[in-house]
Amino acid sequence: MQTVTLLTDPARPTLETALVESLRNAWGGGVARWLSPGEAAEFEVPAPPGHLREVWEELQRLVVDLAVQQAGDRRKKLLVADMDSTMIRQECIDELAEVAGVGAHVREITARAMNGELDFEGALNERVALLEGLDEAVIQEVLASRITPMPGGAALVATMRAAGAHTLLVSGGFTAFAGPVAEAIGFNEARANLLESVDGRLTGTVARPILGRDAKVRALEETAARLGITDSEVLAVGDGANDLGMLERAGLGVALHAKPAVQALCEVRVNHGDLTALLYLQGYARSEFTAAGR
- Portion of the chain with pLDDT greater than 90, in percent: 95
Whether the predicted pLDDT of 278 surpasses 50: yes
Residues 3 and 118 in one domain: no
Over the stretch 131-170, which tens digit does the pLDDT of each residue have?
999 999 999 999 999 999 999 999 999 999 999 999 999 9
Residues 6+ apart with CB under 8 A from 113: 119, 120, 123, 124, 240, 241, 242
Residues 65 and 105 in one domain: no
Residues 201 and 147 in one domain: yes
- Portion of the chain with pLDDT greater than 70, in percent: 99
Number of folded domains in the chain?
Answer: 2
Band the pLDDT of 292: cuts 50, 70, 90. low
Residues 136 and 183 in one domain: yes
**Of the residues 9, 65, 84, 243, which is catalytic?**
84
Residues 115 and 162 in one domain: yes
What are φ and ψ of residue 36, in 5° steps?
Answer: -160, 125
Band the pLDDT of 263: cuts 50, 70, 90. very high
Query: How confident is the model over 43-62, as a mean pLDDT?
Result: 93
Residues 40 and 178 in one domain: no
Distance of alpha carbon 198 from its chain centroid, rounded?
33
Residues 198 and 290 in one domain: yes
Whether the predicted pLDDT of 254 surpasses 70: yes
Tell which of 72, 97, 114 closes a domain.
72
What pLDDT score does 291 carry? 65
CATH of the domain at 16: 3.30.70.260
Residues 185 and 87 in one domain: yes
**Of the residues 82, 94, 239, 243, which is catalytic?**
82
Question: Residue 282 is part of which domain span?
Answer: 75-294
* Mean model confidence pLDDT for the chain: 95
Tell which of 49, 72, 95 closes a domain.
72
Residues 6+ apart with CB under 8 A from 282: 74, 75, 76, 235, 252
Over the stretch 68-97, which tens digit does the pLDDT of each residue have?
999 988 999 999 999 999 999 999 999 999
Q: What do you get for the CA distance between the two ends of the chain, in Å? A: 31
Q: Are 69 and 3 in contact (CB under 8 A)?
A: yes
Residues 5 and 128 in one domain: no
Q: What is the pTM of this model?
A: 0.95
Residues 6+ apart with CB under 8 A from 256: 86, 237, 238, 239, 270, 275, 277, 278
d(CA 91, CA 93): 6
Query: How confident is the model over 221-230, as a mean pLDDT?
Result: 98
Residues 65 and 160 in one domain: no
Residues 48 and 88 in one domain: no
94 is known as an active-site residue: no
82 is known as an active-site residue: yes
Nearest alpha carbon to residue 116 among 266, 226, 293, 280: 266
Nearest alpha carbon to residue 172 among 115, 223, 215, 227: 215
Band the pLDDT of 293: cuts 50, 70, 90. very low
Residues 115 and 248 in one domain: yes
Q: Are 271 and 257 in contact (CB under 8 A)?
A: yes
Q: Which amino acid is located at 111 in the chain? A: A
Tell which of 72, 93, 112 closes a domain.
72
What pLDDT score does 50 carry? 85
CATH of the domain at 146: 3.40.50.1000
Half-sphere exposure of 161 (CA within 13 A, CB side): 18
What pLDDT score does 48 carry? 84
What pLDDT score does 294 carry? 41
